[in-house]
Homo-oligomer: A and B are copies of this chain.
Amino acid sequence: MKRSINSLLMFAILAGIFTSCNNGKSNKNGDRGALSSNAAEKVYVAPGEHDEFYGFFSGGYSGNLTVYGLPSGRMFKEIPVFSQFPTNGYGYSEETKPMLNTSHGFIPWDDLHHPDISQTNGKLDGRWIFVNGNNTPRIARIDLETFETEEIMEIPNSAGNHSSSFITENTEYVVAGTRFSVPVPQEDISIKEYKGKFKGALSFLSVDQETGRMNIKFQLMMPGFDYDLSHPGRGKSHGWFFFTTYNTEEAHSLLEVNASQNDKDFIAAINWKKIEEYVNNGGGKKMPANYAHNVYDHSTHNATSTMKKEVLTVDPTKVPGAVFFLPTPKSPHGCDVSPDGEYIIGNGKLSADLTVHSFDKMINAIENEKFDGEAYGIPILNFEDILAGTVKQAGLGPLHTEFDGKGNAYTTFFISSELVKWNVETREVIDRQPNYYSVGHVMIPGGNSAEPFGKYAVSMNKITKDRYLPTGPELEHSAQLFDITGDKMELLLDFPTHGEPHYAAGIPADILAPKSKKIFKLENNKHEYATLTSDEARVERDGKEVHIYMSMIRSHFTPDNIEGIKVGDKVYFHITNHEQDFDVPHGFAMIGANNAELLIMPGQTKTLVWEPKQVGVWPFYCTDFCSALHQEMQGYIRVSPENSDIELTWSLGE
């Protein structure tokens, strides 16, 4: 399967550079761009009206998940997940710091990649959305009633958690596959020993259907390739999961050349139901592994971090019939399954043609045991036996494919910078539209489910250049919205995206909007340091620790003046927002604190730590304009010298 570096690869490299250099010569919608004559009306959501879809866009290197409305392209929210978020104190407040704990300690950042919304029977149900931390390997679950991160599970034995975090059709599992293979367990060996020694872990996390809680059911220890993307089987292929690989050459240096040698890499087909049965019957091997499991509880308003000690690993060669390799040209990136579960698209990023495998043919080949050898004991199927067909000369540099539920697929081509619509059954190209510039992912709401909502497609472009007013050397990335209801795709809108979206997940508004939570009920607040009535407001000293039980309501803090704090104290502000109306948060900031602020929702308690270092009288105030008397919502704290004998006193402002 080996060849030397070929002309296509060289072209890809050059073209990759070329597309980034065209400096916007073709930025207007000229010959190729089909701009709808009533595009303005189609994307306009009048004041007071609502968007039709939610779009959840990964923030990439922001570490956060952003929420957009479609078709307007307006950003409604940035949900902090893997990164500290000074805006509301996530990762700074005592309650949320445990969310960013890992086996490496507190990590203030990650690279958030692939959102996937929970499903029931292959259809979006809008309970949760799962995302992966691509760097320090983690999977997060975000609750879609509160739009808050509820859980983060670290993935041991992995590195660069990229072929993640996709779910099975009843959300039985969320899957995390390593991008970089590493020694398992980690050990002090030379990088030169990569080949044959490094492993690629594919992790299957079970999801509790009531609570959403995740648990690593098993890790499949695969050969030391790079596992790039993955998608679940559905319908008839439910029970299988598909992962693209690159670097089947097992190179460890100069990968841009050395990992592009093979004409075909693999899609790994995993029969997870078979492995589930195997481990339920006692199969697999427990191995020691340290990894963090962080859970946020919406009644205590607190996160806890637990360090897990063990994980169950499975050797794929021990479960016959569970794992097969599907040869696929060439360094396939996206791995996409059609809504009916029959077709598995391998987006071979260095291939001239787009590869479409048939699930039925795959099963047939497996049943007939027609193999073309094996790799590390895993059977390799014959390319010709499993191929449904190819989309010929569809474009250059295919990356990702989505579906519209009407028999069409939409593939992005990075190098030729276009979105191509083609018929899934006939593999004929129906339409192609240029993307500005160098498109990565595409999203159709429900596009990764059995029931896509084929009204809009959003392409997420990697290069922005001149699409917007310039903002210095650093630019936001850019998305483009297409109307896909006709034969031809109609470009409607360019809108900037925050961070770098690596995939997105869309869902009709009427699934999520009705159940969106408006407040936290104060009566349900089980925070250990809550102040449920302003009568309970007080200050308590415990040695050098001072706990301030504070309440806030328009437009007053109780207490609002405190004396008796001393240099060297560790002061905990435990602040409860007594509002019970929608959209009346209050904020809290302490002047000179080495911390972020707190943004506290109605009914919620949050805690900020302040270690005063300077004697004096220091104010605090509400940071979120809350009423006509917001500017008056303030207080003072007197800080005395460490050896002062001033007693603790506080004013209830009455």
Contact = CB atoms under 8 A, between A and B. Distances in A.
A147 B474 contact: yes
A246 interface: yes
B84 A593 contact: no
Interface stretch (A274-282, A314-322, A528-536, A625-633): A625-633
Contact of A621 (B160, B500, B627): B160
A28 interface: yes
A109 B136 contact: no
Contacts of A188: 615-616, 638-641, 644
A43 interface: yes
A222 to B, nearest CB: 16
Interface in A570-608: 581-585, 587, 589, 591-597, 599, 601-602, 604
Interface in A459-495: 462-465, 467-476, 480, 491, 493-495
Contacts of A76: 468-469, 471, 475-476, 496
Contacts of A47: 29, 33, 35, 436, 467, 480, 491, 493-494
Contacts of A86: 61-63, 83-84, 108-109
A204 interface: no
Contacts of A202: none
Contact of A468 (B51, B186, B463, B581): B51
A617 B13 contact: no
Given A108-B595, A160-B591, A498-B498, 8 more contacts: A13-B555, A61-B589, A78-B498, A191-B561, A255-B634, A333-B631, A469-B512, A500-B625
B614 A104 contact: yes
A613 B468 contact: no
Which of A475, A556, A631 has the most chain B CB atoms inside 10 A of its CB? A631
Contact of A592 (B12, B62, B104, B470): B104
Contacts of A469: 50-51, 54, 69, 76, 509, 512-513
Contact of A615 (B186, B623, B635): B186
Contacts of A498: 75, 78, 498
A452 interface: no
23 contacts: A13-B628, A17-B554, A20-B584, A28-B48, A43-B44, A61-B589, A76-B468, A84-B108, A135-B623, A146-B473, A159-B618, A180-B634, A188-B638, A191-B563, A191-B636, A253-B560, A255-B634, A397-B628, A463-B584, A472-B517, A473-B601, A473-B602, A475-B583
Contacts of A87: 59, 61-63, 83, 499
Number of copies: 2
Contacts of A480: 47
A464 B259 contact: no
A518 interface: yes
Interface residues on A, range: 35 or more
A190 interface: yes
A367 interface: no
A604 B473 CA distance: 10
B594 A20 contact: no
A648 interface: no
Contacts of A252: 561, 636
Contact of A48 (B467, B589, B632): B467
A543 interface: no
Contacts of A194: 636
A27 B48 contact: yes
Interface string A186-211: 11111100100010000000000000
Contacts of A592: 102, 104, 107, 136
Among A106, A198, A635, find the residue whose CB has the most chain B CB atoms closer than 10 A: A635
Contact of A638 (B40, B50, B191, B349): B191
Nearest to A480: B47
B475 A591 contact: no
A502 to B, nearest CB: 8
Contact of A633 (B20, B40, B256): B256
A624 B436 contact: no
Contacts of A116: none
A463 B583 contact: yes
Contacts of A75: 75, 476, 496, 498
Nearest to A399: B628
A3 to B, nearest CB: 17
Interface string A330-362: 010100000000000000011000000000000
Contacts of A124: none
Contacts of A618: 159, 182
Nearest to A615: B188
B77 A471 contact: yes
A289 interface: no
